């Protein structure tokens, strides 16, 4: 049984399809990349996978006992209020919200995990800074650290390297690869075809509607 499968899926807004006839299966441990032009509907597809919007036709099937609180997610754009007062640590820690279960407060382990991921993203010195005062690339790393806190079985990334400098970009791919090797399923949207071909186990082109297995 696959982790996630799209069956004759149509995604879009207000009853109008943006992408249709989407069919694919993602298995545990896959490194699944979604590619396509700007505006082709990649983000829309990912939001539908996450249940943030409902499919116009067809369905997404979750298998293998997969549940939403095992997902880590990096949105393409976070509509954060410009004046939102939140420290980097508070935001990264909020990634642990899906493992709170019935508890109300974060445990010491969860705080350690948050700190570990902050260090992993190389933003330890920004820990107590205000999110709104960071640069775009720094903000991206904060949200990545948050996604890492949330993930247990699958990591969904919408253009994770957009806005990162070349050094961090290659570190980022390395990191994602390591997570994948540890058994985490990766579902990633990217325009960076060259890097993707080196890492991905599956590449799905939304324009052709076909899954082209690489390597």
Ligand X SMILES: Nc1ncnc2c1ncn2[C@@H]1O[C@H](COP(=O)(O)OP(=O)(O)OP(=O)(O)O)[C@@H](O)[C@H]1O
* 130 binds other proteins per the rule CB under 8 A: yes
112 binds, among Mg ion, ligand X, other proteins, none (CB under 5 to 8 A by kind): none
Distances (CA, A) of 20 to 37, 42, 60, 71, 73: 15, 12, 13, 25, 23
Residue 177 CB partners (closer than 8 Å, separation 6+): 31, 199
Choose between 100 and 215: whose C-beta lies nearer to other proteins: 100
Q: Are the CB atoms for 25 and 5 separated by under 8 Å?
A: yes
Q: Per CB under 6 A, which of residues 46..85 are in contact with ligand X? A: 76
Distance CA 150, CA 71 (A): 6
Q: Which one of 104, 125, 167, 194 is in contact with other proteins (CB under 8 A)?
A: 104
Q: Provide the β-strand partners of residue 202.
A: 32
Pairing label, strands 4-13, 57-62:
antiparallel
Q: What are phi and psi of 45, to 5 degrees?
A: -60, -45
Per-residue binding letters, 33-72, with other proteins (x by CB under 8 A): --------------x--xxx--------------xxx-xx
Q: What are phi and psi of 187, to 5 degrees?
A: -125, 115
Q: Which one of 21, 59, 64, 84 is in contact with other proteins (CB under 8 A)?
A: 84
Given the rule CB under 6 A, which of 31-39, 63-71, 112-120, 132-140 is the region that contacts ligand X? 31-39
* 43 binds Mg ion per the rule CB under 5 A: yes
Helices (H) and strands (E) in the chain, counts: 6, 9
Instruction: In angstroms, give the least distance from the CB of 122 to ligand X.
Output: 25
Please give the residue ranges that form the binding site for other proteins (CB under 8 A).
14, 47, 50-52, 67-69, 71-73, 75, 78-81, 83-87, 90-91, 94-95, 97-98, 100, 104-106, 128-130, 133, 146, 150, 156
């Amino acid at each position: 049984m696959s982790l996630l499968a799209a069956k004759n899926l149509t995604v879009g807004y207000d009853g109008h399809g943006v992408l249709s006839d989407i069919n694919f299966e993602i298995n545990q441990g896959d490194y699944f990349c979604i590619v396509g032009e700007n505006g082709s509907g990649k983000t829309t597809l990912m939001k539908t996978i996450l249940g943030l919007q409902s499919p116009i036709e067809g369905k997404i099937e979750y298998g293998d006992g997969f549940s939403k609180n095992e997902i880590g997610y990096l949105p393409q754009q976070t509509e954060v209020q410009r004046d939102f007062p939140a420290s980097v640590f508070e935001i990264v820690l909020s990634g642990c919200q899906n493992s709170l279960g019935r508890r109300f407060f974060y445990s010491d382990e969860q705080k350690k995990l948050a700190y570990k991921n902050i260090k992993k993203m190389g933003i330890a010195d920004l820990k107590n800074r205000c999110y709104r005062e960071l640069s775009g690339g720094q903000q991206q790393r904060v949200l990545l650290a948050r996604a890492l806190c949330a993930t247990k079985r699958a990591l969904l990334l919408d253009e994770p390297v957009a806005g990162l400098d070349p050094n961090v970009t290659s570190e980022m791919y390395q990191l994602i690869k390591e997570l994948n090797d540890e058994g985490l399923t990766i579902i990633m949207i990217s325009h960076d075809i060259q890097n993707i071909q080196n890492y991905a186990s599956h590449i799905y082109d939304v324009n052709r509607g076909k899954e082209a297995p690489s390597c």
